[in-house]
Structure 1
Amino acid sequence: MIFFGTKASLAGTRPMPGVTCANCGHDALTAAVYSQYFHIYWIPTFPFKRRGMSVCSFCKQALEPAEMPAQYRAPFEAAQASVGRPLKHFTGLFIIGALVLILMLSALFRS
């Protein structure tokens, strides 16, 4: 039986300077970016999607991109683009690559 599925983890947070919260009026917005990945036996294999939301540090209002006012979009997209994919989400690919390399080297040294 093979256990596989998807999961998401926090890839990073970035401040959104110059944007005030539409709910409370404070300049305390942060972009939280989550990276969704595919896993086999709970080992992250490869990431396939990034999702994010804006979070006000003062009133804790969280907005998905579809819910954001127009003034949030450009700073949010810039903050989201600056967050990379976590290296740990490629662990399964590294393991598969190492196994293939070992098999190739063992076949090479046997002949």
Structure 2
Amino acid sequence: MILFFGTRPGKPETIKLLNATCPYCQLMGTLNAVTQKNYFHLFWIKLFKIYSNTTVECSHCKRGYYESEFTDEISRELSRIKK
């Protein structure tokens, strides 16, 4: 019997952070958060989420931020929206 299993990324989810300020250009409402989730699959069917990765990019200055670089304001806004 042959089993096809592995990991594969899901669809990215984009959220606009309206109440957060970009730490670089200091403009409010220009940040977009993109969350990418990876799943374990068996026969191309998603079974469970392995991990997720969130990055934030400013639409004005194009500066990107990884999760380790999030300010308290960005983290609070993300947790408020995801609830």
Return the TM-score normalized by structure 1: 0.58
User: Hey, what does 1:63 align to over in structure 2?
Assistant: 65
Aligned Cα RMSD in Å?
Answer: 2.1
Matched length: 81
Separation in 2, partners of 1:10, 1:54: 16
Deviations 1:31-60 (A, max 9, x none): 211222112243333323332121211222
Percent pairwise identity = 26
| Structure 1 counterpart of 2:27, one-letter code | H
Q: Which runs of 5+ in 1 are unaligned?
A: 83-111
User: Hey, what does 2:27 align to over in structure 1?
Assistant: 26
Separation in 1, partners of 2:62, 2:3: 39
Separation in 2, partners of 1:54, 1:63: 5
Question: Which aligned segments of 4 or more residues in structure 1 are displaced greater than 6 angstroms?
Answer: none
User: Hey, what does 1:75 align to over in structure 2?
Assistant: 77
User: Hey, what does 2:51 align to over in structure 1?
Assistant: 49
Are 2:19 and 1:7 equivalent residues in the alignment?
Answer: no
Separation in 1, partners of 2:3, 2:45: 12
Structure number with the higher strand fraction is 2
Q: Which runs of 5+ in 2 are unaligned?
A: none
Return the TM-score normalized by structure 2: 0.73
Separation in 2, partners of 1:77, 1:10: 20
Are 2:37 and 1:35 equivalent residues in the alignment?
Answer: yes
Separation in 2, partners of 1:77, 1:53: 14
Separation in 2, partners of 1:39, 1:75: 31
